[in-house]
């Protein structure tokens, strides 16, 4: 078990700062998902931790030992790059023993460890195959086994699900989670996909502009994102940036789908709004209530979440390039849809979450 701390990490690439005074801490045995859009420096950070790239400045500690100046050989950090990169000329078994052999262990110990890790990762039947004979998911398991075999202080995973087909993703994610828990390995998991964070993370750290912008449990971050961009990176539904704010008698927020009047003054800067699908109601009749925001829509798609729960995806009548998601029951939907496929939606601006 180990704790990882990074302090004031900065990194330039072709004169552009990609990481700037970045701080991050991962607790003992924790799986932290580092979430950010492509090109934001996630992979660079991972490589810096692994010791493959030297940062311009900053220090890294494992527990309280500084590792910034250690070479990758010494750090004992399991690194699984995005494309897995198994050694193509070695069988699966040799791939796994590669790291063990560097440690001068006895043959028996190596054999024991292979059996242990192969069982854990469920690849015992693949040991005699060459990488080219494996599927994407199997390759990822082998890469994971190879990294875990050296019993690393820390496991680094770079978008481990990106090259896996949709059907295998969840299963592999859960395998990773199980192994990580069973071995209590402190893990840094990099992805651009908010769903993966929801699926397996202990905590999530959102990165952009070279810095960690918000860290916390996924639910907390999802419910209280610090700003519009964080909500967007998490992939929250129904969020819009604020185009401009008008302050006359009442403050009004303008977005690309509607104007939202606010009660009272706002103290901090608002970057966006989130209209949770659950606060929106539907009606086939005209709604005339000045306290509600009302929008005319067309039904674009209906997703059946369960037998009685529907999620509607609606096009806005006034602005067909925008769409909005609404949750409702089946009976409500059937009752309120008119013959032209039109539907009215409304919500109270008081329930809108300001970002």
Partner 1 sequence: MFSTTLKKRAKADSILNKSIIILVILAFGSFLILFFYAPLSKIFQFAFSDGNQFTFSFIIETITDPLNISFLLFTFAQALLSMLICLILGIPAGYFFAKYDFRGKKLLLSLMTIPFVLPAIVVLLGFIVTYGESGWVNSIWTGLTGIDSPIIEIFGTFEGILIAHVFYNLSVIIRMSIPAWKSVDTEQINVAKSLGASNWLILRKIIFPQIVNYLVSAALLVFVYTFNSFAIVLYLGEIKFQTLEVRIYKLMKASLDFNGGATLALIQLILNTAIIILYLFFESRTRQMAEGKESIFKSEKISLSKKNWKKNINISFFILFILALMIFTFSPIVAIVLESFQPYADGISPFWGYQQLFSNEYMPLLGNSPLRLLLNTLLFASLTTILTLILSVLLVFVLRNRYQSLKKYKISFSENFVSYIIILPMATSSITLAIGMFLLFNNSIIYLEFVWVFIVLTHVLISIPFASRSILSAYNRIDIEMLNVASTLGASRFRIFAKIELPYIYRGIIVGGIFAFAISLGEFAATNFLVRGEYGTLSIGISKLIKTQTLQLPATMASILVIITIICFLVIQKFGDIELKV
Q: Contact positions toward partner 1, by CB under 8 A?
A: 2, 13-14, 47, 50-54, 56, 62-63, 65, 67, 70-81, 83, 85, 87, 89-90, 98-99, 102-104, 146-147, 150, 153
CB 155 within 8 A of CB 120: no
* Strand-by-strand arrangement of the 342-347 sheet: 281-283, 342-347, 293-304, 309-316, 323-329
Tell the smallest beta-carbon distance from residue 78 to partner 1 (Å): 7
Alpha-carbon distance 37 to 273, whole Å? 20
Query: Toward partner 1, which CB reaches closer, 36 or 99?
Result: 99
What is the closest distance, in whole angstroms, from the C-beta atom of residue 158 to partner 1 in the complex?
Answer: 9
Nearer to partner 1 by Cβ, of 118 and 314: the residue is 118
Q: What is the torsion angle, in degrees rounded to the nearest 10, for the CA atoms of residue 72, residue 74, residue 76 and residue 78?
A: 20
The answer to whether 33 and 200 are in contact (CB under 8 A) is yes
Contact assessment for residue 165 and residue 204, using Cβ atoms and an 8 Å cutoff: no
Residue whose CB is less far from partner 1, 98 or 333: 98
Instruction: Kindly state the smallest distance separating residue 79's Cβ from partner 1, in Å.
Output: 4
* Residue 131 near residue 98, CB atoms below 8 Å: no
CB 169 within 8 Å of CB 91: no
Query: Of 94 and 193, which CB lies nearer to partner 1 in the complex structure?
Result: 94
- In the complex, minimum distance from the CB of residue 15 to partner 1, in angstroms, rounded to a whole number: 11
Closer residue to partner 1, CB minimum distance, 94 or 251: 94
Shortest separation between residue 94's beta carbon and partner 1, angstroms:
9
Residue 205 CB, shortest distance to partner 1, in Å, is 22
Pick 64 or 289: Cβ nearer partner 1: 64
Separation CA 260–CA 23 (nearest Å):
36
Nearest to 156 by CA among 253, 47, 254: 47
Q: Least CB distance from residue 54 to partner 1, whole Å?
A: 5
In the bound state with partner 1, the residue whose beta carbon lies nearer, of 111 and 322, is 111
Q: Are 331 and 347 in contact (CB under 8 A)?
A: no
* Closer residue to partner 1 in complex, CB, 74/243: 74
Distance in Å, CB of 250 to partner 1, minimum: 52
Nearest to 100, CA basis, from 91, 112, 89: 112
3-state helix, strand, coil in the chain (%, to 5): 30, 35, 35
């Amino acid at each position: 078990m180990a704790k990882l701390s990074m302090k004031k990490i900065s990194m330039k690439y072709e004169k552009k700062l990609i990481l700037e005074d970045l701080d991050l801490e991962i607790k003992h045995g924790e799986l932290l998902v580092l979430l950010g859009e492509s090109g934001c420096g996630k992979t660079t950070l991972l490589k810096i931790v692994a010791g493959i790239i030297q940062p311009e400045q900053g220090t890294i500690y494992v527990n309280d030992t500084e590792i910034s100046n250690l070479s990758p050989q010494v750090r004992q950090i399991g690194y699984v790059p995005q494309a897995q990169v198994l050694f193509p000329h070695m069988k699966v078994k040799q791939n796994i023993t590669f790291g063990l052999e560097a440690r001068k262990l006895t043959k028996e110990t190596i054999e024991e460890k292979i059996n242990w890790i192969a069982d854990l990762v469920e690849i015992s039947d693949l040991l005699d195959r060459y990488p080219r004979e494996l599927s994407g998911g199997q390759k990822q398991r082998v890469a994971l086994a190879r990294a875990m075999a050296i019993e690393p202080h820390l496991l680094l995973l770079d978008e481990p699900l990106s090259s896996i087909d949709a059907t295998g993703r969840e299963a592999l994610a859960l395998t990773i989670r199980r192994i990580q828990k069973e071995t209590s390995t402190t893990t840094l998991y990099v992805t651009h996909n908010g769903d993966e964070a929801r699926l397996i993370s202990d905590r999530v750290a959102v990165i952009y502009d070279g810095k960690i912008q918000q860290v916390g449990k996924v639910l907390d971050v999802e419910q209280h994102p610090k700003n519009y961009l964080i909500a967007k990176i998490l992939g929250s539904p129904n969020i819009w940036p604020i185009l401009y704010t008008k302050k006359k008698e009442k403050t009004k927020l303008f977005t690309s789908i509607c104007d939202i009047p606010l009660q009272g003054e706002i103290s901090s800067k608002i970057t966006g709004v989130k209209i949770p699908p659950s606060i929106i109601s539907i009606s086939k009749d005209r709604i005339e209530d000045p306290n509600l925001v009302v929008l005319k829509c067309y039904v674009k798609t209906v997703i059946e979440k369960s037998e009685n729960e529907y999620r509607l995806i609606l096009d806005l009548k006034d602005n067909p390039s925008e769409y909005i998601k609404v949750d409702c029951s089946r009976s409500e939907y059937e009752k309120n849809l008119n013959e032209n496929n039109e539907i009215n939606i409304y919500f109270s601006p008081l329930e809108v979450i300001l970002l």
